[in-house]
Chains A and B, each alone.
Chain A
Amino acid sequence: MSAPTPIDVDLAAVSPEDAARARWYGLFAGLFRAPPSRQWLAGVAASTGEGDASGDAPLARAWRDFAGACAQADPQAVREEFDVAFVGVGKADVIPYASYHLSGFLNDRPLVDLREHLASLGLARRAGIGETEDHISALCETMAWLVAGNAPPARDIAVQREFFSGFLAPWFESLADTIEHSGVTDFYKHAGRLLREFLAIERQAFDFDSP
């Protein structure tokens, strides 16, 4: 049995659209895994001037709002907000785990199904990671790899669609609603809206060539 190896993506090897999709998933993986640094917030705030980020498309609007939130964010406040909102069994206001939203329980059947599915893709959670595989950040990281990963079965649209349909599509609206209606989210309300808009586009895009 080979030792596990880290996964990696190669954005230069995929289409521009897929490179963008992988970057988006990577952004959300990081954003929901840990609160962003001051440098990261500043980078986003400064990015609205690049290219043409204007436009009425929902994603562009959500991005402008999110960038504005980043511009005004105090990193310490964002850290505290993240901790109160997402961290801690039994006290977190938002539970960003698919199993909870799908079955009502953490570590339930949806997580079992996910682990089996990941195993069929040759993926497994890295040792030492605290979150289970159904955490929104882990699911986004997996999708980023499925979009632009540098080993099979990555870059297969059918594989991406199957994973998205099974483990993201059924619950991301519920997560976004929870974040939006939470009384303890502020910065992350904008992140949640951005996540919702992006995943809604993904869902529609997958419908284009589904059998």
Chain B
Amino acid sequence: MIARYALRVGALGYLAVLLALPVALVFFRTFSDGLDAVWTSITTPEALHAFWLTIVMVAIAVPANTVFGVVCALALVRRRFWGKSVLNLSIDLAFAVSPVVVGLSLILIYSRTGWIGGWLAEQGVRIIFAPAGMAIACVFVSLPFVVREVVPVLREIGTDQEQAASTLGASPWQTFWRITLPAIRWGVGYGVVLSTARVLGEFGAISVVSGKLSGRTETLTLRVEDRFQSFDLTGAYAASMVLALLALATLLVMNLLKRKEA
């Protein structure tokens, strides 16, 4: 009995000290200069731009990785093909490699002096120090989440239901939409939430490829750092709060969908 309570107190205390307390302090500190200061700080053109750019990054990277993740998971679990283990390994690479290194590697490829950056520049396409490069970085760092969430679910449901659908006359496409996708929807859902959170919080790779141009290539995380470095603590805390609220909203949407299901 005592051991059980001790375990609970320990776990909750750990979370409180490491997670809840700092986040709560951010909210608390944000409003210490009053509501007006916060409102002014998050409605400057630069702040609004950072907010929208962050949303755009999520809107590009998450759908791209959801489609890629589901297709990739299906291939990994259901098919045998040459290079499967290489594919498997490269997906984990996105986890293993530090985001800063990802950013640097993108510079090696896409900057004016990089592999294909020079040619792209001649075509008038700009990747580095532009939103395009930031989107590529976001796709890279959030790549594994959907795959890694969906693969175990696909393994668990097996192929019986899909085979049953095919004997009942369903084409592969119909089987995917009516049987496979509904069966893996929670895996996909968690993958989407994790990817969204990852893209919202992305800093390392983006800070390398974006050039941190305020009002042009600055996302919310970069803005937090920028405000902090400029001794604008209210601005830094306000931007942090917006980020935290976006993350909470993601979790809330997921929970609402789940409740609706049950």
Q: Do A and B come from one complex?
A: no
Q: Spell out A's residues near B (CB within 8 Å).
A: none
Q: Spell out B's residues near A (CB within 8 Å).
A: none
